[in-house]
Structure 1
Amino acid sequence: MPSPSSSREILRRQLRQARRHLSAHQQSLAAEQLLTQFIASPLASKLTQQSRIALYLSNDGEISADALCQHLWQQNIAVYLPILDDKALKFARYTADSKWLENRFGIKEPIAAEIIDGQELDAAFLPLVGFDTEGGRLGMGGGFYDRTFENKQANHPPILIGLAHDCQEVAKLPIESWDVPLDSILTPSTFIQLD
């Protein structure tokens, strides 16, 4: 019988492969549909011009949050991107004229004067490798988001929203004690609110 950690690694490989096999057209269409789902969701009406929202730059086949970012900017909502802070994350303000540097994983991070902690966000849209409808999130395995939000209390900001392709859903994820659950999940075809 495989250990929970080995079954997570096997699942992680399978799901990463599934999302990487999506064509550029499928990726683009998924990003547009994701925005449509967001606009129709109850989340959209909760955001104001005072909201601070974290997104991410897509990598390794992750669903793109670019259309969502453009929409938030049009609503004059502040957008932040994750930056490495040792083994956790902080969030740097992202604007259309942001300058960039690459972190140790080769992922771009904005160089910003305004950097905040995760607890200062109103909502964070998180990338993921896999999810289940109970709020389970399987990430890339580094634990950065889990460490960043490990002290988050249920029903308190920030709202944690997993963004994913529909092909990343599984019936039940093997969950570990350190996994921080999602408050909701947004895919191109659905919005799942978890209580």
Structure 2
Amino acid sequence: MTSHFDPRQTLRRQLRQARRNLPVTEQLDAASALVSNYIELLERLTIPPTKRVALYLSNDGEISPHLLCELFWQQNIETYLPVVQGKKLIFARYSVETTWQENIFGIKEPITAEYLAGNELDIVLLPLVGFDSKGGRLGMGGGFYDRTFEDKRADQTPLLIGLAHDCQEVKKLPIEGWDVPLQGILSPQQIIIV
């Protein structure tokens, strides 16, 4: 008989509450710190020029990549947002002219004819619920990113970079076999390269 106690679910609740409790000013400062850490991460990884980046619209206290998006637009880098398609994600082009619809979770998604598969992107910035210093990640539990990138090898594009607040770090995450590994994690105070 299985137990109703799931340590990953308990941890998700605690970490989601911690990020929701952050004051607005700290949220804004965190978004700003991501920009310089992102630039440093790219320098350290020495990757080819980036043409297509996916990010997300923050909700539930997630660290916001909105300033990174502005940087990408200034550099003429195409930006994409995740769109739920069945149990996986596809990525829709995002611009200032984007029109919106809500998905089954109440999250805004672009309405567009320009969709890409995950393997057509250079970098995917994804939200984390939790992370550890070894690059372990804990998502919301739906498995959308895991299923989307389940066949991706670490040396293939896109680079998967998790974004989180520092209060979401834990000593060691319980990792499952289906958890897709990241190549890096950015928080306001840390750059973790895996």
Normalising by the smaller structure, the TM-score range is over 0.9
Q: What residue in structure 1 maps to residue 81 of structure 2?
A: 81
Q: Return the letter of the residue paired with 1:181.
A: P
Q: What residue in structure 2 maps to residue 128 of structure 1?
A: 128
Superposition deviation, residue 64 in structure 1: 0.2
Query: Residues 1-12 of structure 1 correspond to what in structure 2 (within 5 A)?
Result: 6-12=6-12
Superposition deviation, residue 40 in structure 1: 2.4
TM-score, structure 1 normalization: 0.93
Q: % of aligned pairs identical? A: 59
Within 2, Cα distance between the matches of 1:175 and 1:72?
Answer: 32
Q: What residue in structure 2 maps to residue 105 of structure 1?
A: 105
Query: Residues 19-34 of structure 1 correspond to what in structure 2 (within 5 A)?
Result: 19-34=19-34
Q: What residue in structure 2 maps to residue 16 of structure 1?
A: 16
Q: What residue in structure 1 maps to residue 57 of structure 2?
A: 57
Q: Return the letter of the residue paired with 1:110.
A: P
Superposition deviation, residue 5 in structure 1: 6.9
1:76-108 Cα distance to aligned partner (Å, 9 max, x none): 000000001101100000011101110011100
CA gap 1:17/1:87 in 2 versus in 1, 3 angstroms:
same
1:98-150 Cα distance to aligned partner (Å, 9 max, x none): 01110011100011111010111111001010011222110111000000000
Q: How many residues align?
A: 192
Superposition deviation, residue 42 in structure 1: 2.5
Superposition deviation, residue 4 in structure 1: 11
Residues 50-59 or 37-46, more deviating: 37-46
Within 2, Cα distance between the matches of 1:41 and 1:4?
Answer: 40
Superposition deviation, residue 47 in structure 1: 5.7
CA contact (8 A) 1:4 1:174 kept: no
